[in-house]
Structure 1
Amino acid sequence: MLEFVDNWHMDYVGQAWAEKLSRIIITLFGIVGLVYGYAIQQFSMTVYILGVGFALASLITIPPWPIYRKNPLNWQPVKNRDKDSHSKKSKKTK
């Protein structure tokens, strides 16, 4: 269970890919919806198709799927603050 919680993030490359993918999906559905809505003279169909594209883009890009976690950052290890603060105080007093 903890492994799932630890991997509940998206790296920077994955965020950029998700952003680009969501724009492509929404733009594509918008164009198709506009053309189809114009062809049948129903603006409501344009809105419905765009809504489906938005829902699909949200489902694909909002959750941190494994394809968005391929380039993790290597963080530096955490330093112990207590040791650092004590060593600084002792140096000041000398």
Structure 2
Amino acid sequence: MDWEGQKLAEQLMQIMLLAFAVIAFSAGYFTASFQTMILTYAGGVVLTTLVTLPNWPFFNRHPLKWLDPSEAEKHPKPQPSVNVTTKKKSIKK
């Protein structure tokens, strides 16, 4: 799953769980049944899991292009600069 696919999966998960929570609450309220509410929401969680958890092809629309190892050897890694200056402030009493 690529980065955009992960973002899409998270957005789908949040939208679907919120929608199923509203649907489950409404169904439970109108039927006056806590069991109906819980079963409706549990079904929504299972459906959301089936949609967002597997690595479906529509989550891989933006694949990353990796650099070939032979090409990577031609370019040196950037070295961290050592321009750290530490000054201690004098404490006035």
| TM-score normalised by L of structure 1 | 0.70
Shift of 1:35: 0.9
Give, in whole Å, the separation in 1 of the partners of 2:51 and 2:31: 29
5+ residue gaps in structure 2? 71-93
Aligned to 1:72: 63
RMSD (Å), alpha carbons: 1.0
Give, in whole Å, the separation in 2 of the partners of 1:53 and 1:78: 45
Aligned to 1:90: none
* Structure number with higher helix proportion: 1
Q: How does 1:2-81 map to 2 (within 5 A)?
A: 10-79=1-70
- The amino acid across from 1:53 in the alignment is G
| TM-score normalised by L of structure 2 | 0.71
- The amino acid across from 1:19 in the alignment is E
5+ residue gaps in structure 1? 1-9, 80-94
Q: Which has the larger radius of gyration?
A: 2
Count of matched residue positions in the alignment of Structure 1 and Structure 2: 70
Shift of 1:78: 2.1
Shift of 1:31: 0.3
1:61-85 Cα deviation digits (max 9, x unpaired): 1111110000011111125xxxxxx
Give, in whole Å, the separation in 1 of the partners of 2:25 and 2:40: 9
* Identical positions, percent: 31
